[in-house]
Amino acid sequence: MQECIIITGAATGIGKATVKKFHSEGYTIIGCDINVEQGRQLEVEFGEKVMFFELDVTKEGMWENLKNYIIEKNYHIKALFNNAGIFIMNSLEETTEQEYNQMFDINVKGCFFGLKYIAPILYQQQGGSIINASSNAALFGAKGLGIYGATKGAVRTLTKNAAMEYAPYVRVNSIHPGYIHTQMIEYAAKVSNKEPIDQAKFVPLKRLGNTEEIAELVYYLSSDKASYITGSELVIDGGVAAGQSIWEEES
């Protein structure tokens, strides 16, 4: 039975870096994304052990198709990384209903469907790991992140409930990245009229994180080395969530 990893939002950013990490470790990967053109490039770049599967995480029927594909191929699922997400930066009063629905559909419903359709497979296997992508925005307030932060807070709580529901066989954890150099940071910098590097001054470690660092954490949580970790939130943000110094450093 072939062991494989499922990654949503696999075509770019953190998703693609995670594909690269697991591929380097010899795993078979089902890389899922709504972007077919970029998704197909995963197969070209990484070869036959990476298979692209078209998936809109908000569509229940497409998750059911993925589940049936896994059963048909008789794959043993090592882990699911619910990574697909969307980030819209806006004030509460300027956020449209469409933007609200879009963020909750992709960020929360996408994780819910992943749990609904993949967790039972892992439970039946009596082993496996699910990692849900949340954010450090789930842990504190910030201007312009009200609805995005609310979706990621929902993912955090959903993770804890799923960890209880699928124990003892399935481990479910959330990861909470901060300022990671991805397209989302480029977008946030543009909205706030800053350069991406300017975000680093808010980070105690004084730099942006990179996608490879997130991939390493996902890999760890998927491994047997994390066998006693479930229902946890792992923050990877260079210290931002730890707090802000009450003394400003001199420039």
> Closest by alpha carbon to 51, among 31, 37, 70, 26?
31
In angstroms, what CA-CA distances link 212 with 161, 172, 177?
A: 28, 21, 12
**Set 27, 75, 117, 148: catalytic member:** 148
148 is an active site residue: yes
Task: Round to whole Å and give the CA distance between 111 and 107.
Answer: 7
Q: What is the DSSP string of 184-236?
A: HHHHHHHHTT--GGGGGGGSTTSS-B-HHHHHHHHHHHHSGGGTT--S-EEEE
- Residues annotated as catalytic (active site), given as ranges: 148
